[in-house]
Amino acid sequence: MEKQKKNLGSVAFLPLIVFLVCYVGCGITFTLMGADDPFGKFPRHVALLAGCAVALLLNRSMDVKDKLNIMTTNMGNSGVMIIVLIYLMAGGFQGAAAAMGGKDSVVNLCLHVIPVTFLIPGVFLMCCFISTSVEITMGTN
């Protein structure tokens, strides 16, 4: 991979601006609406993913694979940072599933189907199903 230097100028701040507009803008909007915990309504990791997506779209002359490799290498250890990005995406999916009521409906369905004598193994299997569905072990929180 040959190194390409491209001077983007002030456009290089666009991912940071997108993150701030998403997170701080939604927090201020919810504050003006009078919501409880206004900055907790919009997840930070979703705003971070939006900023990362904008950063990956900036230089169109490179492949996304090369851009992702450069981004994760500059963030630290490339392999660890890929795992962090996967964790962020899984957290966004988990938040969307929870907002739709997916976890609650699966829990209610399983609690109606599982007999009382098999409650502990049944709850374990239900948690395994939910964590597999969201592709992360912390999905049953």
> Residue 19 has what pLDDT?
93
> In this structure, are residues 90 and 135 in contact, taking their beta carbons and an 8 Å threshold?
yes
> Residue 26 has what pLDDT?
92
> Residue 27 has what pLDDT?
92
Looking up tokens 């940072």, which residue turns up? Answer: 81
| Residue ranges of the chain with per-residue pLDDT less than 70 | 1-6, 8, 133-141
> Residue 41 has what pLDDT?
85
Q: What is the DSSP string of 33-96?
A: HT-SSGGGSS-HHHHHHHHHHHHHHS-TTS-HHHHHHHHHHHHS-HHHHHHHHHHHHHHHHHHH
> Residue 20 has what pLDDT?
93
> Whole-structure pTM over 0.75, yes or no?
no
139 exposure class (CB count in 10 Å sphere: 0-12, 13-18, 19+): buried
